């Protein structure tokens, strides 16, 4: 495969379409992360079928999500939206009594101009449960941007110090009444979170609890305390946000959330590479330390140790090429990590690129390519799948990371593939999870090696020619 040497990143935009998984799938991981929530997806039966298939057997475990299905009468504006949503929300309150109900708007609510933001405040005051409105339609957003719209809406609901103090006083008063004068733990003043010698830091991005703990401990080793995470495990524990607080993201698809932190809550955004791979995790910690004027300790040795533990996987991909068709907006971070592992990447397809929010990641990608002595990949925003398939056929990369729609056709052509959606649901952040990334990346390559040992590779190539 011949690729012209490029010294700087180049960007192109092709079709203007999103060829991705539907963004309402964010419900699959958010309802599990926010344990006292309930997600109400407002759409058609197609949305319901998609959620059932996307989340598999979880539908039998009584998960905290449901569909408000729009029928022909609703779409033709013959029925009362408010009364129907009120009926559903009252049923949710009676059956589940969540701390928050999240309305997820779909393509249909956009097309018929359903005023969810106008309906929610009135209904919220009537039923006594907070209602957060998030538009996660596939017309405006790509796959993982569904989480972005939900978190951006929740930033607005994060309490201030005054609100938190009033809530604490109200809770203490109720506890005193319930305890009938007995000494209660709530009577004693709560200790303020210790931030060390730096301003409060809020991290945002939905991660599994073990990964949240890992990243928080990595920062704690550097003397940095995390004052809160968005989303929190419970809606009632949303982090306090005040003007001048610092915020830092852990995922590259949260640009709307980052903008809301800055514009609506007057926070200061830390523009860092994302903690994916040992190189990205080290750069993420170093950037946060530099903002707070802290000299990081032991990161170089920590990164070197992780790379040494990854060597058995790195040997399998060193010198091979990888191509990203574009699906989950993790492409830049994953490509940077794989290039650092010794791979080449001629092209990165990505559904949407916010160059400001991903600025530090793009810079690290460029630096990594120069350090490794490989061409800088071309970045294609909103790629045309037909053109991509032609380029893949010409380049013949060793691995293509793609959406599910193109995996089998590419495999039939004899090209190894990996579903991009698997990286969305896997634990890939932090030092210790880099091995999981390489486990996913090398699985099709290891499978091919096993087939080759069995002599089946010739049969696969002959079928591909047919």
Residues annotated within a binding site for [4Fe-4S] cluster? 22, 47, 107
* Residue from 448, 450, 401, 429 nearest 216 by CA: 429
What are the CA-CA distances from residue 419 to residues 254, 371, 407, 441 (Å)?
21, 28, 7, 10
The dihedral of CA 347, 348, 354, 357: what is its sign? negative
d(CA 54, CA 374): 37
d(CA 269, CA 358): 12
What is the b/e burial string over 51-62, where b = at least 16 CB atoms within 10 angstroms of the residue's CB?
beeebeeeeeee
**Dihedrals phi, psi of 121, to nearest 5 degrees:** -60, -40
- Residues 274, 252: contact at Cβ < 8 Å? yes
CA dihedral of residues 454, 345, 358, 365 (deg, nearest 10)? 110
Query: Which positions make up the binding site?
Result: 22, 47, 107
DSSP one-letter code for 276: B
* Residue from 176, 101, 139 nearest 16 by CA: 139
């Amino acid at each position: 495969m011949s690729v012209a040497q490029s010294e700087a990143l180049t960007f192109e935009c092709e079709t203007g379409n999103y060829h991705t998984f539907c963004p309402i799938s964010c419900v699959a991981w958010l309802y599990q992360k926010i344990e006292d929530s309930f997600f109400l997806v407002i759409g058609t039966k197609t949305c319901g079928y998609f959620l059932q298939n996307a989340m598999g057997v979880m539908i039998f475990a009584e998960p905290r999500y449901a569909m408000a299905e729009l029928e022909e009468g609703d779409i033709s504006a013959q029925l009362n939206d408010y009364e129907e949503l009120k009926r559903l929300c009252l049923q949710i309150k009676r059956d589940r009594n969540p701390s928050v109900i999240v309305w997820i708007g779909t393509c249909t609510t956009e097309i018929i101009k359903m005023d969810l933001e106008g309906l929610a405040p009135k209904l919220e005051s009537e039923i006594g449960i907070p209602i957060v409105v998030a538009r996660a339609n596939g017309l405006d957003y790509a796959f993982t941007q569904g989480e972005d719209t939900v978190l951006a809406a929740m930033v607005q609901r994060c309490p201030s110090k005054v609100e938190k103090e009033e809530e604490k006083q109200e809770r203490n008063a109720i506890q005193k009444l319930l305890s009938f004068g007995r000494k209660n733990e709530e009577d004693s003043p709560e200790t303020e979170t210790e931030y060390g010698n730096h301003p409060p830091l809020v991290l945002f991005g939905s991660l599994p609890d073990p990964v949240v703990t890992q990243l928080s401990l990595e920062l704690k080793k550097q003397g940095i305390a995390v004052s809160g995470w968005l989303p929190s495990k419970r809606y009632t524990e949303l982090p306090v946000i005040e003007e001048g607080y610092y915020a830092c993201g852990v995922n590259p698809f949260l640009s709307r959330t980052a903008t809301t932190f800055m514009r609506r809550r007057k926070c200061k955004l830390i523009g860092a590479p994302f903690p994916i791979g040992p190189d990205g995790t080290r750069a993420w910690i170093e950037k946060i330390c530099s903002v707070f004027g802290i000299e990081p300790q032991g990161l170089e040795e920590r990164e070197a140790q992780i790379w040494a533990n990854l060597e058995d996987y790195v040997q399998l991909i060193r010198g091979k090429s990888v191509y990203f068709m574009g699906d989950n907006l993790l492409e830049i971070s994953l490509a940077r990590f794989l290039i650092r592992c010794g791979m080449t990447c001629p092209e990165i397809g990505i559904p949407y690129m916010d160059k400001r929010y991903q600025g530090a990641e793009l810079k690290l990608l460029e630096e990594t390519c120069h350090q490794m002595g490989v061409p800088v990949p071309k970045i294609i925003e909103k790629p045309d799948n037909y053109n991509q398939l032609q380029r893949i056929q010409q380049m013949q990369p060793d691995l293509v990371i793609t959406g599910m729609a193109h995996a089998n056709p590419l495999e039939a052509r004899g090209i190894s593939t990996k579903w991009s959606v698997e990286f969305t649901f896997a634990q890939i952040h932090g030092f210790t999870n880099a091995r999981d990334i390489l486990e996913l990346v090398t699985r099709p390559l290891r499978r091919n090696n096993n087939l080759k040992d069995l002599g089946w590779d010739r049969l696969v190539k002959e079928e591909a020619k047919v």
